[in-house]
Homo-oligomer: A and B are copies of this chain.
Protein backbone atom coordinates (compact mmCIF):
# COMPACT_ATOMS: atom_id res chain seq x y z
CA UNK A 1 0.00 0.00 0.00
CA UNK A 2 1.25 3.45 -0.91
CA UNK A 3 2.02 5.66 2.08
CA UNK A 4 -0.66 8.26 2.72
CA UNK A 5 0.51 11.73 1.92
CA UNK A 6 -1.03 15.16 2.05
CA UNK A 7 -2.12 16.45 -1.30
CA UNK A 8 -4.53 19.04 0.05
CA UNK A 9 -3.04 22.48 -0.43
CA UNK A 10 0.39 21.49 -1.53
CA UNK A 11 0.85 25.02 -2.78
CA UNK A 12 -0.86 26.72 0.14
CA UNK A 13 0.72 28.46 3.07
CA UNK A 14 -0.11 29.85 6.44
CA UNK A 15 -0.07 33.57 6.90
CA UNK A 16 3.18 33.47 8.88
CA UNK A 17 5.03 32.19 5.83
CA UNK A 18 4.36 35.46 4.12
CA UNK A 19 7.53 37.50 3.78
CA UNK A 20 8.92 39.90 1.23
CA UNK A 21 5.43 40.86 0.17
CA UNK A 22 4.00 44.18 -0.89
CA UNK A 23 2.32 46.32 1.76
CA UNK A 24 -1.27 45.43 0.89
CA UNK A 25 -0.57 41.69 0.92
CA UNK A 26 1.43 42.02 4.13
CA UNK A 27 -1.38 43.92 5.84
CA UNK A 28 -4.02 41.38 4.84
CA UNK A 29 -1.95 38.30 5.70
CA UNK A 30 -1.16 39.81 9.09
CA UNK A 31 -4.82 40.51 9.74
CA UNK A 32 -5.64 36.92 8.81
CA UNK A 33 -2.99 35.73 11.27
CA UNK A 34 -4.60 37.74 14.07
CA UNK A 35 -8.24 37.01 13.31
CA UNK A 36 -8.63 33.60 11.70
CA UNK A 37 -7.93 30.09 12.93
CA UNK A 38 -4.57 28.71 11.86
CA UNK A 39 -6.33 26.21 9.57
CA UNK A 40 -6.71 28.99 7.02
CA UNK A 41 -4.16 28.63 4.25
CA UNK A 42 -3.46 30.82 1.25
CA UNK A 43 -2.54 29.76 -2.24
CA UNK A 44 0.91 30.91 -3.41
CA UNK A 45 3.96 32.25 -1.67
CA UNK A 46 2.81 35.61 -3.00
CA UNK A 47 -0.93 35.40 -2.24
CA UNK A 48 -3.47 36.98 -4.55
CA UNK A 49 -5.86 39.66 -3.30
CA UNK A 50 -8.92 39.26 -5.49
CA UNK A 51 -11.68 41.84 -5.70
CA UNK A 52 -13.62 41.11 -8.87
CA UNK A 53 -14.59 38.22 -11.11
CA UNK A 54 -16.42 37.79 -14.39
CA UNK A 55 -16.69 34.65 -16.49
CA UNK A 56 -13.30 32.94 -16.52
CA UNK A 57 -11.45 36.04 -15.32
CA UNK A 58 -10.53 37.46 -11.92
CA UNK A 59 -9.02 40.82 -11.02
CA UNK A 60 -6.85 41.75 -8.06
CA UNK A 61 -6.93 44.94 -6.01
CA UNK A 62 -4.53 46.65 -8.40
CA UNK A 63 -6.68 45.88 -11.40
CA UNK A 64 -4.50 43.08 -12.73
CA UNK A 65 -6.47 40.48 -14.68
CA UNK A 66 -6.04 36.75 -14.08
CA UNK A 67 -7.17 33.70 -16.03
CA UNK A 68 -8.93 31.30 -13.68
CA UNK A 69 -8.02 27.73 -14.56
CA UNK A 70 -8.92 26.25 -11.18
CA UNK A 71 -12.26 27.25 -9.69
CA UNK A 72 -15.20 24.98 -10.39
CA UNK A 73 -17.43 26.65 -7.80
CA UNK A 74 -18.10 29.53 -10.17
CA UNK A 75 -18.71 26.76 -12.65
CA UNK A 76 -20.74 28.61 -15.27
CA UNK A 77 -18.51 31.67 -14.82
CA UNK A 78 -17.80 34.12 -12.01
CA UNK A 79 -20.74 36.38 -11.19
CA UNK A 80 -22.91 34.94 -13.94
CA UNK A 81 -25.76 37.46 -14.30
CA UNK A 82 -28.41 34.72 -14.52
CA UNK A 83 -27.53 33.48 -11.03
CA UNK A 84 -27.06 36.99 -9.65
CA UNK A 85 -30.51 37.97 -10.87
CA UNK A 86 -32.26 34.75 -9.82
CA UNK A 87 -30.87 35.10 -6.30
CA UNK A 88 -31.70 38.79 -6.12
CA UNK A 89 -35.25 38.23 -7.25
CA UNK A 90 -35.90 35.37 -4.83
CA UNK A 91 -34.19 37.14 -1.91
CA UNK A 92 -36.65 39.99 -2.27
CA UNK A 93 -39.60 37.59 -2.21
CA UNK A 94 -39.01 34.86 0.36
CA UNK A 95 -36.29 32.71 1.87
CA UNK A 96 -37.55 30.21 4.37
CA UNK A 97 -37.29 26.48 4.97
CA UNK A 98 -38.78 23.24 3.69
CA UNK A 99 -41.37 22.76 6.43
CA UNK A 100 -43.60 25.06 4.43
CA UNK A 101 -44.66 24.30 0.87
CA UNK A 102 -42.75 26.02 -1.93
CA UNK A 103 -42.66 25.40 -5.67
CA UNK A 104 -38.93 26.14 -6.03
CA UNK A 105 -37.65 22.92 -4.47
CA UNK A 106 -40.15 20.86 -6.47
CA UNK A 107 -39.39 22.52 -9.81
CA UNK A 108 -35.67 22.09 -9.25
CA UNK A 109 -36.05 18.49 -8.13
CA UNK A 110 -37.90 17.73 -11.37
CA UNK A 111 -35.19 19.44 -13.37
CA UNK A 112 -32.27 17.71 -11.69
CA UNK A 113 -33.88 14.26 -11.52
CA UNK A 114 -34.50 14.53 -15.27
CA UNK A 115 -30.70 14.38 -15.69
CA UNK A 116 -30.21 11.17 -13.65
CA UNK A 117 -30.89 7.50 -14.48
CA UNK A 118 -34.58 6.70 -13.86
CA UNK A 119 -33.75 4.59 -10.80
CA UNK A 120 -32.34 7.67 -9.04
CA UNK A 121 -35.64 9.31 -8.25
CA UNK A 122 -35.51 11.12 -4.90
CA UNK A 123 -33.77 14.36 -3.91
CA UNK A 124 -32.59 15.90 -0.66
CA UNK A 125 -30.74 19.18 -0.20
CA UNK A 126 -27.97 20.43 2.06
CA UNK A 127 -25.50 23.30 1.91
CA UNK A 128 -22.11 21.69 1.22
CA UNK A 129 -20.63 18.66 -0.50
CA UNK A 130 -19.40 17.56 2.93
CA UNK A 131 -22.95 17.52 4.26
CA UNK A 132 -24.09 15.52 1.22
CA UNK A 133 -21.35 12.91 1.64
CA UNK A 134 -21.84 12.76 5.41
CA UNK A 135 -25.49 11.91 4.84
CA UNK A 136 -24.67 9.54 1.96
CA UNK A 137 -22.42 7.43 4.19
CA UNK A 138 -25.14 7.32 6.84
CA UNK A 139 -27.71 6.26 4.23
CA UNK A 140 -25.33 3.59 2.92
CA UNK A 141 -24.99 2.23 6.44
CA UNK A 142 -28.71 2.28 7.15
CA UNK A 143 -29.47 0.49 3.87
CA UNK A 144 -26.70 -2.10 3.92
CA UNK A 145 -26.60 -2.76 7.64
CA UNK A 146 -22.82 -2.50 7.35
CA UNK A 147 -20.33 0.21 8.29
CA UNK A 148 -17.32 -0.33 6.01
CA UNK A 149 -16.65 2.32 3.39
CA UNK A 150 -14.12 2.00 0.57
CA UNK A 151 -12.49 5.07 -0.96
CA UNK A 152 -9.40 5.61 -3.08
CA UNK A 153 -5.91 6.20 -1.72
CA UNK A 154 -5.97 10.00 -2.00
CA UNK A 155 -9.69 10.60 -1.93
CA UNK A 156 -11.17 13.74 -0.44
CA UNK A 157 -14.86 13.63 0.50
CA UNK A 158 -15.43 16.36 3.05
CA UNK A 159 -14.70 18.32 6.20
CA UNK A 160 -17.15 16.79 8.68
CA UNK A 161 -15.96 14.25 11.23
CA UNK A 162 -17.44 11.35 9.27
CA UNK A 163 -16.25 12.45 5.82
CA UNK A 164 -12.80 13.48 7.10
CA UNK A 165 -12.45 9.92 8.34
CA UNK A 166 -12.98 8.80 4.73
CA UNK A 167 -10.60 11.38 3.24
CA UNK A 168 -7.02 10.09 3.14
CA UNK A 169 -6.04 13.23 1.21
CA UNK A 170 -6.14 15.12 4.51
CA UNK A 171 -2.89 13.39 5.48
CA UNK A 172 -1.64 11.78 8.62
CA UNK A 173 -2.91 14.56 10.94
CA UNK A 174 -6.45 13.34 10.32
CA UNK A 175 -6.87 9.66 11.25
CA UNK A 176 -9.02 7.52 8.98
CA UNK A 177 -12.06 5.89 10.54
CA UNK A 178 -11.45 2.26 11.52
CA UNK A 179 -14.19 1.33 9.06
CA UNK A 180 -12.52 3.06 6.10
CA UNK A 181 -10.57 0.94 3.61
CA UNK A 182 -8.44 2.29 0.78
CA UNK A 183 -8.00 1.05 -2.78
CA UNK A 184 -5.24 2.37 -5.01
CA UNK A 185 -6.49 4.87 -7.56
CA UNK A 186 -7.00 3.65 -11.13
CA UNK A 187 -3.81 5.38 -12.26
CA UNK A 188 -3.92 4.46 -15.94
CA UNK A 189 -0.72 6.37 -16.59
CA UNK A 190 1.21 3.88 -14.50
CA UNK A 191 -1.06 0.83 -14.79
CA UNK A 192 -0.76 0.50 -18.53
CA UNK A 193 -0.15 -3.24 -18.65
CA UNK A 194 -3.39 -4.29 -16.97
CA UNK A 195 -7.07 -4.27 -17.83
CA UNK A 196 -7.98 -1.28 -15.70
CA UNK A 197 -11.58 -2.38 -15.14
CA UNK A 198 -10.63 -5.90 -13.99
CA UNK A 199 -7.77 -4.64 -11.88
CA UNK A 200 -9.85 -2.00 -10.11
CA UNK A 201 -12.73 -4.40 -9.45
CA UNK A 202 -10.25 -6.87 -7.95
CA UNK A 203 -8.74 -4.20 -5.68
CA UNK A 204 -12.20 -3.40 -4.38
CA UNK A 205 -12.98 -7.05 -3.85
CA UNK A 206 -9.75 -7.43 -1.85
CA UNK A 207 -10.80 -4.63 0.50
CA UNK A 208 -14.32 -6.01 0.90
CA UNK A 209 -12.80 -9.37 1.83
CA UNK A 210 -10.28 -7.69 4.10
CA UNK A 211 -12.87 -5.73 6.05
CA UNK A 212 -15.06 -8.80 6.36
CA UNK A 213 -12.08 -10.73 7.78
CA UNK A 214 -11.81 -7.91 10.36
CA UNK A 215 -15.47 -8.28 11.28
CA UNK A 216 -16.59 -5.16 9.43
CA UNK A 217 -19.61 -5.49 7.16
CA UNK A 218 -19.31 -3.71 3.82
CA UNK A 219 -21.59 -0.67 3.35
CA UNK A 220 -20.43 0.97 0.16
CA UNK A 221 -17.91 2.39 -2.25
CA UNK A 222 -17.64 6.19 -2.36
CA UNK A 223 -15.82 7.66 -5.34
CA UNK A 224 -15.57 10.66 -7.56
CA UNK A 225 -15.57 9.11 -11.04
CA UNK A 226 -12.73 11.33 -12.28
CA UNK A 227 -10.60 10.63 -9.19
CA UNK A 228 -9.76 14.28 -8.84
CA UNK A 229 -7.69 14.24 -5.64
CA UNK A 230 -5.90 11.13 -6.83
CA UNK A 231 -4.58 13.17 -9.73
CA UNK A 232 -7.43 13.57 -12.26
CA UNK A 233 -7.80 10.05 -13.68
CA UNK A 234 -10.72 9.84 -16.11
CA UNK A 235 -9.76 6.44 -17.54
CA UNK A 236 -11.49 4.95 -20.53
CA UNK A 237 -15.25 5.33 -20.55
CA UNK A 238 -16.84 2.26 -19.01
CA UNK A 239 -13.89 0.99 -16.97
CA UNK A 240 -15.74 1.63 -13.68
CA UNK A 241 -18.55 -0.76 -14.51
CA UNK A 242 -16.93 -3.91 -13.15
CA UNK A 243 -16.06 -2.18 -9.88
CA UNK A 244 -19.67 -1.10 -9.39
CA UNK A 245 -20.83 -4.65 -10.17
CA UNK A 246 -18.52 -6.04 -7.47
CA UNK A 247 -19.86 -3.49 -5.00
CA UNK A 248 -23.45 -4.52 -5.72
CA UNK A 249 -22.75 -8.25 -5.70
CA UNK A 250 -21.29 -7.82 -2.22
CA UNK A 251 -24.27 -6.02 -0.76
CA UNK A 252 -22.80 -2.53 -0.85
CA UNK A 253 -23.97 0.61 -2.56
CA UNK A 254 -22.13 2.89 -4.97
CA UNK A 255 -22.06 6.56 -4.03
CA UNK A 256 -21.01 8.76 -6.95
CA UNK A 257 -19.43 11.89 -5.47
CA UNK A 258 -20.17 14.34 -8.27
CA UNK A 259 -18.91 17.43 -6.44
CA UNK A 260 -16.02 17.55 -8.91
CA UNK A 261 -17.08 15.91 -12.20
CA UNK A 262 -20.78 16.78 -12.21
CA UNK A 263 -22.74 19.59 -13.85
CA UNK A 264 -21.44 19.20 -17.43
CA UNK A 265 -17.80 19.42 -16.41
CA UNK A 266 -16.58 16.29 -18.19
CA UNK A 267 -18.22 17.23 -21.48
CA UNK A 268 -19.32 13.77 -22.53
CA UNK A 269 -22.25 13.78 -20.13
CA UNK A 270 -23.93 15.90 -17.49
CA UNK A 271 -22.64 13.58 -14.75
CA UNK A 272 -19.17 12.10 -14.48
CA UNK A 273 -20.40 8.58 -13.76
CA UNK A 274 -22.48 8.57 -16.95
CA UNK A 275 -19.31 8.01 -19.02
CA UNK A 276 -19.13 4.59 -17.41
CA UNK A 277 -22.68 3.43 -18.06
CA UNK A 278 -23.23 2.77 -14.36
CA UNK A 279 -26.22 3.58 -12.18
CA UNK A 280 -25.19 4.91 -8.76
CA UNK A 281 -27.36 4.23 -5.74
CA UNK A 282 -26.62 7.72 -4.47
CA UNK A 283 -25.30 10.81 -6.26
CA UNK A 284 -23.86 13.61 -4.13
CA UNK A 285 -23.33 17.13 -5.40
CA UNK A 286 -21.83 20.34 -4.12
CA UNK A 287 -19.46 23.04 -5.39
CA UNK A 288 -20.78 23.84 -8.91
CA UNK A 289 -24.47 23.36 -8.11
CA UNK A 290 -25.26 26.98 -7.14
CA UNK A 291 -22.30 28.76 -8.77
CA UNK A 292 -21.13 29.97 -5.33
CA UNK A 293 -24.36 29.94 -3.33
CA UNK A 294 -23.93 27.19 -0.72
CA UNK A 295 -26.21 24.43 -1.94
CA UNK A 296 -25.64 20.71 -2.28
CA UNK A 297 -27.77 17.68 -2.92
CA UNK A 298 -28.17 13.99 -2.43
CA UNK A 299 -30.01 12.18 -5.19
CA UNK A 300 -30.83 8.56 -4.55
CA UNK A 301 -32.78 5.47 -5.43
CA UNK A 302 -35.96 5.76 -3.42
CA UNK A 303 -35.62 2.35 -1.78
CA UNK A 304 -32.04 3.05 -0.68
CA UNK A 305 -32.99 6.38 0.86
CA UNK A 306 -36.07 4.91 2.54
CA UNK A 307 -33.93 2.71 4.78
CA UNK A 308 -32.63 5.90 6.37
CA UNK A 309 -35.57 8.28 6.02
CA UNK A 310 -38.04 5.90 7.59
CA UNK A 311 -36.22 5.80 10.91
CA UNK A 312 -33.81 8.72 11.26
CA UNK A 313 -35.02 12.35 11.29
CA UNK A 314 -33.07 14.69 9.03
CA UNK A 315 -33.73 18.37 8.59
CA UNK A 316 -31.28 20.84 7.11
CA UNK A 317 -32.40 24.39 7.95
CA UNK A 318 -30.94 26.15 4.90
CA UNK A 319 -30.99 23.11 2.61
CA UNK A 320 -33.36 23.48 -0.33
CA UNK A 321 -34.51 26.96 0.67
CA UNK A 322 -36.07 29.10 -2.06
CA UNK A 323 -32.92 31.18 -2.67
CA UNK A 324 -30.58 28.22 -3.01
CA UNK A 325 -33.07 26.49 -5.28
CA UNK A 326 -33.34 29.63 -7.43
CA UNK A 327 -29.56 29.72 -7.78
CA UNK A 328 -29.39 26.02 -8.63
CA UNK A 329 -32.20 26.31 -11.17
CA UNK A 330 -30.45 29.25 -12.84
CA UNK A 331 -27.25 27.20 -13.11
CA UNK A 332 -29.08 24.33 -14.84
CA UNK A 333 -30.80 26.75 -17.19
CA UNK A 334 -27.50 28.37 -18.18
CA UNK A 335 -25.81 25.00 -18.73
CA UNK A 336 -28.64 24.13 -21.08
CA UNK A 337 -29.10 27.47 -22.83
CA UNK A 338 -25.40 28.19 -23.30
CA UNK A 339 -24.72 24.58 -24.31
CA UNK A 340 -21.98 24.34 -21.70
CA UNK A 341 -21.73 20.56 -21.75
CA UNK A 342 -20.92 20.48 -25.45
CA UNK A 343 -18.74 23.56 -24.96
CA UNK A 344 -16.79 21.75 -22.25
CA UNK A 345 -16.33 18.74 -24.52
CA UNK A 346 -15.16 20.75 -27.53
CA UNK A 347 -12.99 23.35 -25.81
CA UNK A 348 -11.65 20.70 -23.40
CA UNK A 349 -10.55 18.55 -26.32
CA UNK A 350 -8.81 21.51 -27.98
CA UNK A 351 -7.07 22.43 -24.76
CA UNK A 352 -6.00 18.82 -24.26
CA UNK A 353 -4.54 18.72 -27.78
CA UNK A 354 -2.62 21.95 -27.19
CA UNK A 355 -1.29 20.72 -23.87
CA UNK A 356 -0.10 17.54 -25.61
CA UNK A 357 2.12 19.64 -27.83
CA UNK A 358 3.91 20.61 -24.62
CA UNK A 359 4.21 16.93 -23.78
CA UNK A 360 5.92 16.43 -27.16
CA UNK A 361 8.24 19.31 -26.41
CA UNK A 362 9.21 18.67 -22.77
CA UNK A 363 10.41 15.36 -21.32
CA UNK A 364 9.15 16.33 -17.88
CA UNK A 365 5.52 16.31 -19.02
CA UNK A 366 4.78 12.65 -18.41
CA UNK A 367 1.08 12.57 -19.12
CA UNK A 368 -1.76 14.84 -20.14
CA UNK A 369 -5.28 13.48 -19.68
CA UNK A 370 -8.76 14.69 -19.08
CA UNK A 371 -12.44 14.72 -19.82
CA UNK A 372 -13.96 17.99 -20.93
CA UNK A 373 -12.59 20.96 -19.03
CA UNK A 374 -11.05 18.81 -16.31
CA UNK A 375 -7.46 18.03 -17.13
CA UNK A 376 -4.50 16.52 -15.29
CA UNK A 377 -1.04 17.60 -16.45
CA UNK A 378 1.49 15.31 -14.84
CA UNK A 379 5.11 16.24 -14.24
CA UNK A 380 7.79 13.57 -13.83
CA UNK A 381 11.55 13.57 -13.31
CA UNK A 382 11.91 10.83 -15.90
CA UNK A 383 9.51 9.34 -18.45
CA UNK A 384 10.73 5.78 -17.93
CA UNK A 385 10.50 5.64 -14.17
CA UNK A 386 7.53 8.07 -14.16
CA UNK A 387 8.88 9.39 -10.83
CA UNK A 388 6.70 12.34 -9.75
CA UNK A 389 8.31 15.80 -9.89
CA UNK A 390 6.56 17.65 -7.09
CA UNK A 391 9.16 20.42 -6.87
CA UNK A 392 8.72 21.28 -10.53
CA UNK A 393 4.93 21.31 -10.18
CA UNK A 394 5.13 23.74 -7.30
CA UNK A 395 7.56 26.02 -9.08
CA UNK A 396 5.39 25.94 -12.15
CA UNK A 397 2.27 26.87 -10.16
CA UNK A 398 4.07 29.88 -8.71
CA UNK A 399 5.39 30.85 -12.12
CA UNK A 400 1.90 30.57 -13.62
CA UNK A 401 0.69 32.84 -10.88
CA UNK A 402 3.27 35.40 -12.00
CA UNK A 403 1.89 35.00 -15.50
CA UNK A 404 -1.58 35.64 -14.02
CA UNK A 405 -2.84 32.11 -14.52
CA UNK A 406 -4.45 30.61 -11.42
CA UNK A 407 -4.38 26.89 -10.85
CA UNK A 408 -3.21 24.28 -8.33
CA UNK A 409 -1.98 20.69 -8.00
CA UNK A 410 -3.41 17.26 -7.22
CA UNK A 411 -2.34 13.66 -6.74
CA UNK A 412 -0.55 11.79 -3.95
CA UNK A 413 2.72 13.54 -4.78
CA UNK A 414 1.34 16.96 -5.69
CA UNK A 415 3.00 16.70 -9.10
CA UNK A 416 -0.11 16.97 -11.23
CA UNK A 417 -1.46 20.33 -12.34
CA UNK A 418 -5.23 20.31 -11.90
CA UNK A 419 -6.69 22.36 -14.77
CA UNK A 420 -10.36 22.91 -14.05
CA UNK A 421 -11.47 26.36 -15.22
CA UNK A 422 -14.98 27.77 -15.04
CA UNK A 423 -16.91 26.40 -18.02
CA UNK A 424 -16.88 29.96 -19.36
CA UNK A 425 -13.29 29.22 -20.43
CA UNK A 426 -13.00 29.88 -24.16
CA UNK A 427 -10.82 28.55 -26.96
CA UNK A 428 -9.35 32.06 -27.08
CA UNK A 429 -8.03 31.57 -23.53
CA UNK A 430 -5.99 28.52 -24.51
CA UNK A 431 -3.04 30.60 -25.73
CA UNK A 432 -2.72 32.44 -22.42
CA UNK A 433 -2.61 29.20 -20.45
CA UNK A 434 -0.52 27.15 -22.86
CA UNK A 435 1.84 30.05 -23.54
CA UNK A 436 2.44 30.59 -19.84
CA UNK A 437 3.02 26.87 -19.32
CA UNK A 438 5.39 26.79 -22.28
CA UNK A 439 7.45 29.67 -20.94
CA UNK A 440 7.50 28.13 -17.46
CA UNK A 441 8.59 24.74 -18.73
CA UNK A 442 11.21 26.30 -20.99
CA UNK A 443 12.73 27.89 -17.91
CA UNK A 444 12.20 25.15 -15.34
CA UNK A 445 11.58 21.94 -17.21
CA UNK A 446 13.45 19.50 -19.37
Which residues of A are in contact with B by a Cβ distance under 8 Å? 6, 8-9, 12, 25, 28-29, 31-32, 35-43, 47-53, 58, 71, 73-74, 78-79, 83-84, 87-88, 91-103, 105-106, 109-110, 113, 122-124, 126-131, 134-135, 137-138, 159-162, 164, 170-171, 173-174, 286-287, 292-295, 298, 300, 305-306, 308-318, 321, 323-324
The secondary-structure label for the interface of chain A is mixed
A124 to B32, CA, bound (A): 11
Evaluate contact between B131 and A130: CB separation under 8 angstroms: yes
Offer 12 A-B interface pairs, CB within 8 angstroms, sorted by A: A28-B101, A28-B103, A36-B124, A39-B309, A42-B101, A58-B94, A73-B96, A91-B292, A135-B159, A171-B313, A173-B312, A173-B313
Q: A137-B161, A171-B313 are in contact. List 5 more A-B contacts (CB 8 A).
A: A36-B109, A53-B93, A73-B318, A84-B88, A128-B317
Q: B50 touching A100 by the CB < 8 A rule? A: yes
Residue of B nearest to A88 (CB): B88
The CA-CA distance from A47 to B106 in the complex, in Å, is: 15
A423→B327 CA distance, assembly (Å)? 27
With contact pairs A113-B35, A315-B41, A318-B292 given, residues A100 and B48 touching in the complex (Cβ less than 8 Å): yes
Partner of A8, one of B35, B102, B313: B313
Tell me if A134 and B122 are in contact (CB < 8 A).
Answer: no
- A323 proximity list for chain B (CB < 8 A): 292-293
A53 to B124, CA, bound (A): 24
B308 touches A58 (CB 8 A): no
Complex-state Cα separation, A164 to B98, whole angstroms: 19
Complex Cα spacing A52 to B315, Å:
22
Q: Which residue in chain B gives the minimum CB-CB distance to A129?
A: B317
Residues of B within 8 A of A164 (CB): 138, 312
With A42-B99, A294-B294, A314-B39 as known contacts, state yes or no: A162 contacts B160, CB within 8 Å.
yes
Q: How far is the CA of A98 from the CA of B37 in the complex (A)?
A: 12
Q: Which residues of B contact A315 (CB under 8 A)?
A: 8-9, 39, 41, 159
Contact A100 B305 (CB under 8 A): no
Closest-by-CB residue of B relative to A83 is: B91
A318 touches B305 (CB 8 A): no
Q: Give the nearest-CB partner of A310 in chain B.
A: B38
Docked-complex contact B106 and A32, CB < 8 angstroms: yes
Report chain B residues within 8 Å CB of A87: 87-88, 91
